[in-house]
Amino acid sequence: MSTRLRLVLCLVLLASGCAQVAYYGQAAHGEFSLLDRARPIDDWLADPGADAGLKAKLARTKQMRRFAISELGLPDNRSYTEYADLQRPFALWNVVAAPALSLEPKQWCFPIAGCVNYRGYFNQTAAQKFAMGLREQGFDVQVSGVPAYSTLGWFNDPLLSTFIKYPDGELARLIFHELAHQTVYAKDDTQFNESFAITVEQAGVERWLQAVGNQKMRDAYVQFEGRKEDFLALLLKCRKQLAANYASDVSDAQKLQRKAAIFSALQEDYQQLKLKWGGYTGFDRWFAEPLSNAHLALVATYYDLVPGFRALLAQQKTFPRFYAAVAKLAELSKDERHRQLDELAKKGTDVNSLVTMSE
């Protein structure tokens, strides 16, 4: 185990209660095991036994990373300079929970990452066991596989077998997204962090496809983005219906009945959407578990602040200036930074004047 990993683990354990020791232990062991599997990309490219398709993908990721550094101003470090074959479908599994009659996700707080709306496990069985305990407490719960995550620069995140086969546009998007998390991070504000990373990934892929993409790559990405937007619109529609249901004056029993009907309609609407897509099944795994509030609890987390960040990027014109402005927002209180981003989205107000007025 690396000296840095030992140090981080010791600090975390010292800051934790006994009940958390086992959880942090599995997290440290899982991270170490993942890093231990990683080998430099150049070693894979020189390996005569390595799959030719894998080598082609790895070679393209080197170009994506160079673009991220030179054109997007993202960190120039050792992240994504290595590749690890995990021999499992996901890097880890996230557990998300919400009350039976609310879309407000349960939070867990950690010494390094702060408070987040999910709890990650490197072992699927452990994630499902924890989820079972939450269900017994009356929570709606979703366990979902996660192909990639960021250690926020604490370690050199490698490329993983869980996402290396993505289409090139999606692979570039993921790399830009995870590197963005290393650029600016506001503790205890998942919504801010994810919306920022999504803004970087979207703008980054637009520029990357324009610079190096061919028409086939552009068409594939546009098609994927169109399907994702359709699916997101479906989820937001369902979320709005559920929120109205939970805020109504009817009895809890009636709310639960209405909740079941809304989720049933979501299933039917999704089948219609798949017909429109020609049978595309890319979102089927989202329905792997019975639908619940937990499925929709984080939808707003990832997208609500994106319009404000897009407006800010347009104002700042370059990525370094954009990152500097975002870093200033990250120094503000959570409520204030969200207010300013909402204002940017509505009016296009200059963020520099907003920050100055708040200081």
Judged by DSSP in three states, 264 sits in: helix
User: Of 30, 79, 39, 301, which Cα lies nearest the Cα of 180?
Assistant: 79
Question: Which domain range does residue 340 map to?
Answer: 305-358
> Which residue, 185, 203, 230, sits at the end of a domain?
185
Check whether 5 has a pLDDT greater than 50.
no
The pTM of this model reads 0.86
Judged by DSSP in three states, 88 sits in: coil
d(CA 265, CA 259): 10
d(CA 342, CA 49): 52
d(CA 264, CA 127): 26
Q: Per-residue pLDDT averaged across 1-11, rounded?
A: 44
Tally of structural domains, the chain: 2
Structural domain includes residue 103: yes
d(CA 262, CA 17): 40
> Which residue, 185, 203, 235, sits at the end of a domain?
185
Q: Both 309 and 180 in a single domain?
A: no
pLDDT score recorded for residue 303: 82
Structural domain includes residue 67: yes
Give the side-chain half-sphere CA count within 13 A for 242. 30
Residue 114 has a CB neighbour count (10 Å cut-off) of 16
Q: Both 23 and 165 in a single domain?
A: yes
Q: Both 174 and 31 in a single domain?
A: yes
pLDDT score recorded for residue 350: 45
pLDDT score recorded for residue 10: 44
> Which residue, 185, 208, 228, sits at the end of a domain?
185
Q: Where in the chain does DSSP place strands (E)?
A: 39-40, 82-84, 92-98, 108-110, 114-116, 119-121, 140-146, 159-160
Percentage of the chain with pLDDT > 90?
Answer: 75
Burial code (b: 16+ CB inside 10 Å, e: under 16) for 285-298 equals: eeeeeebbbbbbbb
Check whether 247 has a pLDDT greater than 50.
yes
Structural domain includes residue 194: no
Q: Per-residue pLDDT averaged across 42-64, rounded?
A: 97
Q: Both 311 and 179 in a single domain?
A: no
Q: Both 29 and 175 in a single domain?
A: yes
Judged by DSSP in three states, 110 sits in: strand
User: Of 35, 53, 32, 36, which Cα lies nearest the Cα of 44?
Assistant: 53
pLDDT score recorded for residue 112: 66
pLDDT score recorded for residue 25: 87
Check whether 11 has a pLDDT greater than 50.
no
> What pLDDT band is residue 154 in, cutting at 50, 70 and 90?
confident
pLDDT score recorded for residue 359: 38
Check whether 4 has a pLDDT greater than 50.
no
pLDDT in tens, 181-238: 999 999 889 899 999 999 999 999 999 999 988 888 889 889 999 999 999 999 999 9
Q: Are 59 and 45 in contact (CB under 8 A)?
A: yes
Q: Are 192 and 330 in contact (CB under 8 A)?
A: yes
Structural domain includes residue 248: no
- Angle 215-247/168-181 helices, nearest 10 degrees? 60
Q: Per-residue pLDDT averaged across 93-113, rounded?
A: 91
Structural domain includes residue 238: no
Paired with 146 in beta bridges are 92
Q: Both 181 and 309 in a single domain?
A: no
The long-range contacts involving 241-245, CB below 8 angstroms and separated by at least 24 positions, are 242/103, 242/293, 242/296, 243/103
d(CA 90, CA 288): 15
Structural domain includes residue 11: yes
Structural domain includes residue 292: no
Structural domain includes residue 17: yes
Q: Both 157 and 17 in a single domain?
A: yes
